[in-house]
Structure formats: C-alpha cells, structure tokens
Structure 1
Amino acid sequence: MSLQISINGQLVPKEDAKISVFDHGLLYGDGVFEGMRSYAGKIFKLDDHLDRLWDSAQAICLEIPMPREEMAEHCKATLAANNIIDGYIRLIVTRGAGSLGLDPNRCSNPQVIIIADKISLYPAEYYEHGLHLVTASTIRNHPAALNPRIKSLNYLNNIIAKMEGLQAGCVEALMLNHKGDVAECTGDNVFIVNKGVLSTPSTDSGILEGITRNAVLEIADQLGIPTRQATLTRHDLFVADECFLTGSAAEVVPVVQLDNRTIGDGKPGPITKRLLEAFHKLVRQ
C-alpha cells in the first residue's frame, strides 16, 4: 500500500500528493514546519510542537487554516493510516500559491501537509561510539535577519553548513552565531557536561528552542543533575568532559570529537548515557 499523505486534511497516496508550483513554500521557503516523533503510537510532545508551529507562523504573519485540535487529529490520523507505531511526522504549513513576486499578500490557500514515515537519522554505531564534528564556517542566521527560533521552510543556512560537515567526513557540523559563540548544529541542539554540570546555549545565542532539548533539561532536573543555559564557546566544548546533541529525529546522540580534539576520554560519558536511558523511558510512558 502506498504511503498516505495528508493534504489539507485529505489523505491521498504519495504519488498523488501535490501542491502548486506557484506555492511560496516552494518558490521562497515561505512557510513553517515541525518534525515530530511517535513512540508506541503516541506523538511525543505534540502540544509543545503545535505551540512552536503556531509561534513560528505568528512570527511570519502566516495564518494557519485550521484549529489546533483539528491539526492534532490529522497528525494522529496520518500515523494511523500508515500503520506507523514508532515513526516520524513532518508537519508543514506553506504560504500557499501566489505570483512569482515576493508579495505574500498575493498568496491564497495556505497548504497543510502531513507526512508520516519511519526514520533513522544516524546508524546505531554513532549512539554507541559517538559522533565526530567539525565547526562550519557558515554561521547561524543573525536573529535580526531570520531568527532561528522560527522553524521556517528556509533551511539553506543549515544545509550549507551540513555540506561543510559532510565534505569533512562528518555527519554533523557545529554552527557558531554572529558573535562567534556556539549556537547549535545543523539540525540538533548542543549540550556539554563539565564537572557534573550540564550546559547548553541559551535561546539568545541564536538557536531553535528544541523540544527534545527542553525535555532533556527537565529530565536532568528530575535526576538532580545541575543545569545551566548560558553562552558557550568552542573552547568550552574542547575542554568538556562530555558532549551530546538532541533533536526530534536524532533523539540524544553522543559527541566524542570536535575539530580533531577528543572530548573527554573519547567515549560517550556517564551522564550522557544516563540521560539517554531516561529519555528512552520518558518517550514510552
């Protein structure tokens, strides 16, 4: 059976899932999206994802053409239609079809697209042995240009940095902000552990406020692990005892090397492992 895609609330086979070539989501990356995970048939942190989707849409003056409750039901229905228990949901809202010009006022009928499928972002060996990262020369978008807290369809900034990582033989790359401080990776938030304290860049460092990031901070509090959200530099990562990344697709993945510097003892650390185990328990509740 063909994968079923939800377009504006209607399920259609993957081969028939189409939108206009004049849609500003395609022409200009004008739209917003969320990437969510399902575990045991339940969408993890669905309400938090919808909060962020509505915030992103509000920030770019995009009116989402259906109520939150209906959106949530369509996400669940798309999972069910594809018999997916543990999977990934991509929820997209575009500006809609318009002209070849930039004027968003000429667009009509925003499109709501929901794709449910299975995903494995990184091979199992990376979770066991850890990632190697390089620092990209491409910086994260300046917040005054396109605020990274908006999860928009315009991901070219991240893609260029991702290319730098791949060209260096790494599956991820660290991105700095316009001040030269650590922001995030191309698709994941960054954490370090140093002397038992868990640290991650604050939102004013030019990051996307990740749903998994926030879940890990909550887990750490419950486990009694001290946390802080602060400005971090590459030096902080170089001298950290542990490092890991978080994201809806990546979940929690260790990092053992940055720019040819070994982090800690070069193996996933005990706090990273503890948080990963607790996260796996949380998503199955």
Structure 2
Amino acid sequence: MPRQIYINGQYFAPDDAKISVYDHGLLYGDGVFEGMRAYSGKVFRLTEHLQRLDESGRAIGLQMPIDLETMANDVNETVARNEITDGYIRLIVTRGAGALGLDPFKCSNPQLIIIADSITLYPDSAYENGLDLVTASTIRNHPAALSPRIKSLNYLNNILAKMEGLRAGCVEALMLNHKGEVAECTGDNIFIVKDGKLFTPPIEAGILEGITRNAVLQLAQQAGIETAEIPLTRHDLYVADECFLTGSAAEVIAAVKLDGRAIGDGSVGPITQQLNQAFRTLVRQ
C-alpha cells in the first residue's frame, strides 16, 4: 500500500506531504529528530526515544507541539497505518514557519512529522563480514559550540565526514573530537573489545548518547562482560581485538578494518557476535 506520512495529526501521501518553504527546519536546520526501529510491529524503546527528543527540544528552546503520550500514540498509529512490521521510523519536530532571518521567536506552529518506512543503511555483506572504516578529517562538532547530545536537523558535520568515507571506498567513517580522541562514526556509536573487556567513548567525548548504545552496554553487563566508558584514541582501535558500531538504523555491525589496518584478525569477533545475537533477541521480546 502507498505510504502515509503524518504531519500534525493528519495523514498524506508522500507527494502531498508538505511543509512551508519558510519553515526554519528547512531554512536553518532548526529542529530535532529521532530515528527508531520497529520490530514485529512494536517500536523499540519508544519511551526513551521520545524523552531524548523532548530533551533535545528543550535544549534549543523548542517546545513539543503535543504531549509525549499523545506523540507515542501517533507514532504507533503511523506504524500501523503503514503496515510496518520490521521497519524504521523518522520523527521530526521543526521550529515552524517564520520570517527570513535567524530569529526563532518569529516562528509559529512547530511541525510534527512522522515517517514510517524501511531502511537499508549498509549492505547485507557488511553485516556478515564487517565494515571497513576510514578516519575523517572532519571532526565532531565542538561540544562547547553545539552539544552533541542534541539530535538536531543540522547534520552537515556528519554528512561531510560521510562523504570522506565514501570517497575512500568506505560506507562509514570514524570521527574524532576536538581533542583528537575517538568520538563516534557519522551515524553510529563505536565500541571496541580488548582482552575480553568492552570499551566505548564516554558522553564527555562529544557523542550522541545512543539508545542502542545503552542497550548494548546493559546486555554486556548482564552477560558478565566488563564494560568501561573511557576516552579512546585511534591507537586503541588499531590494537583492539574487535570493534563494532551501534545505532537505531545500523543496529549492531562489526568494523574489521580502520585506515587500511585490520582490527584483530580482520573478522567479526566472538563478543561482537554474542552481543549482536543478544540484541536481536532483546528487540523481539
């Protein structure tokens, strides 16, 4: 059936789903969003996603146009209307239409948009054999300029790094922070395994606190795997036994090479496989 796009409580065919060209979400990237997965028709950790959306909005002075309980109902209704069993949901809140110029106080009527569809972030072969990564020269936004915990509509920083990866023949790129430490990839959080222990950069490294990231940390702890959120450098990745990425769209996927260097033995490692299976079990519960 044709997709139905939710905008402010109404449903439209994709070609008819429109917002104003004066919307500051379009003009300036002024808005916030969440990307979520549905498994067996149920949105994974919907409450956590909506809380993060609300916090992102509050951080930029953007009030949600409806309460979170109503928003959750609308997300579930959109998933049902589009007959999504296993799929992806993009939830967007823009500042709304305003005047040309940066002043957000001249904007009115924030736009709430929900898209429920399918997504393929990486090829199937990458999930079987792992990804090759390259370090981007584009660094993660400085946290003193814009908090990386705000999931804003302005993703140009990530897009530029993504372009570097693609030009190097890699579908994903590693981004460093302003200190030269490992932050995250263009759309995913990153983990390494060393001597049976699991490590990932802390929030202070300038990363988005991923919902899937937190789920994997919990699964590792439940499995008795020692975990630590500590600053990492590229050296740590070069000498790691395993490496993998996490994200709502990506789920859990191994990285087996960085900057032409094999990570570990260059194959998907056992702890990565264990946590990937645990995650796939979790999302079906």
Which TM-score band applies after superposition, normalised by the shorter structure? over 0.9
Residue 159, structure 1, aligned to residue 159, structure 2: yes
Q: How far off its partner does 1:96 sit?
A: 0.1
Q: How far off its partner does 1:123 sit?
A: 1.2
Residue 22, structure 1, aligned to residue 18, structure 2: no
Residue 77, structure 1, aligned to residue 94, structure 2: no
SS at match of 2:37: strand
Aligned-partner Cα distance in 1 for 2:252–2:119? 15
* Number of the residue aligned with 2:6: 6
CA deviations over 1:87-130 (Å, ceiling 9, x no partner) = 00000000000011000000000000000001121111111100
Residue 183, structure 1, aligned to residue 183, structure 2: yes
Aligned-partner Cα distance in 2 for 1:222–1:192? 18
SS at match of 1:115: strand
Aligned-partner Cα distance in 1 for 2:254–2:28? 35
Q: Greater shift after overlay, 199-208 or 7-16?
A: 7-16
What percentage of aligned pairs have identical amino acids? 71
Aligned-partner Cα distance in 1 for 2:94–2:201? 29
Residue 140, structure 1, aligned to residue 169, structure 2: no
Aligned-partner Cα distance in 2 for 1:175–1:123? 21
Q: How far off its partner does 1:2 sit?
A: 2.0
CA deviations over 1:146-175 (Å, ceiling 9, x no partner) = 111100000000000000000000000000
Q: Greater shift after overlay, 122-131 or 231-240?
A: 122-131
CA deviations over 1:197-222 (Å, ceiling 9, x no partner) = 00000000000000000000000011
* Number of the residue aligned with 1:246: 246
SS at match of 1:20: coil
SS at match of 2:164: helix
* Number of the residue aligned with 1:211: 211
What is the 5 A alignment of 1:99-178? 99-178=99-178
Aligned-partner Cα distance in 2 for 1:61–1:283? 33
Q: How many residues align?
A: 285
SS at match of 2:265: coil
Q: How far off its partner does 1:9 sit?
A: 1.4
CA deviations over 1:9-56 (Å, ceiling 9, x no partner) = 111111110000000000000000000000000000000100100010
Aligned-partner Cα distance in 1 for 2:117–2:88? 5
SS at match of 2:166: helix
Aligned-partner Cα distance in 1 for 2:127–2:85? 22
- Structure 1 length as normaliser, TM-score? 0.99
Q: What letter is aligned with 1:161?
A: A
Q: What letter is aligned with 2:222?
A: Q
* Number of the residue aligned with 2:270: 270
Q: Which 4+ residue blocks in structure 1 deviate beyond 4 angstroms?
A: none
Q: How far off its partner does 1:8 sit?
A: 0.5
Q: What letter is aligned with 2:174?
A: L
Q: What letter is aligned with 2:20?
A: S
* Number of the residue aligned with 1:257: 257
**Which ranges in structure 2 are unaligned for 5 or more consecutive residues?**
none
* Number of the residue aligned with 2:200: 200
* Number of the residue aligned with 2:235: 235
* Number of the residue aligned with 1:94: 94
Aligned-partner Cα distance in 1 for 2:15–2:256? 41
Aligned-partner Cα distance in 1 for 2:260–2:96? 45
C-alpha RMSD of the superposition? 0.5
Aligned-partner Cα distance in 2 for 1:219–1:140? 27
- Structure 2 length as normaliser, TM-score? 0.99
Q: How far off its partner does 1:245 sit?
A: 0.2
